Amino acid sequence: MIPIPAFLVVAGILFGIGAIGFLVRRNVIVALMSIELMLNAVNLTFVAFNRVHAEAHTGQVFAFFNIAVAAAEAAVGLAIVLSFFRLRRTVRSDAGDLLKN
């Protein structure tokens, strides 16, 4: 059996990749994907921890809800990106420079 810490380490690495991807990539679509990656890392963490605290299914339930919420979030996010693309013809986040101090 694979030890639990392995899952956690993988989740941590995934989360890190997602976070770094979000911060360094200027493409909004990639940023969205990075966020999804982070959420999935969280799901993995929850499910892995659920093995430690096996007396209840809290972690698994949490993961279910995360999936649903992530889908809704992604739907709205893509819609926003789409409307941004329609107006500005780009999906680069540094093109958003109209709102400044």
Partner 1 sequence: MSLWFALSPLLILSAGGLLLMLADAFSEKHTDLALGAFMTFASAGIFAVALWIMGGVPAEVAKLVAPWIVLDKFTLFFMATLCLGGALSSLLAGGYLPEHGLDRGEFYALMILSAIGGVLLVAAGDFLALFIGLETMSIGVYAMTSFRRTNPRSAEGGMKYYLLGSFAAAIMLYGFALMYGATGTTALAGIRDALASGSFGYARDPSRLTTVIIAMAMILVGLAFKISAVPFHMWTPDAYQGAPTPATAFMSVVVKAAAVATAMRVLLVAFGDKFSSSWGAGWPPVVAGLAVATMVVANLIAIRQENVKRMLAYSSIAHAGYLLIGLVAAWGHGDPSASRNGKAAILFYLLQYTVTQAGAFGALILCGSKGKEAVSYEDLAGLGRRNPAVALPFTLFLLSLAGIPPMSGFFGKLFIFQSAIEGGFTWLAVIGLLNSVLAAFYYLRVLVFLYMKEPQPGAVEAVPMKSGYVTAAMVLASALVLYFGLMPGRSLDMAISAAQSLM
Partner 2 sequence: MSAYVPMFLLFAVAATLVAAFFLLSTYMGPRNKGEPEHNTPYECGSESSGGRHIRLSAKFYLTAILFVVFDIEGVFLYPWAVKFRSLGLAGLVEMLGFLAVLVVGLVYVWKKGALEWEK
* Binding region for partner 2 (CB under 8 A): 20, 23-26, 61, 64, 67-68, 71-72, 74-75, 78-79, 82
Question: How many Å separate Cα 13 from the centre of its chain?
Answer: 13
Question: How many Å separate Cα 44 from the centre of its chain?
Answer: 12
67 binds, among partner 1, partner 2, none (CB under 5 to 8 A by kind): partner 2
The whole-angstrom separation of Cα 7 and Cα 5 is: 5
Beta carbon nearer to partner 2, 11 or 63 = 63
Beta carbon nearer to partner 1, 10 or 62 = 62
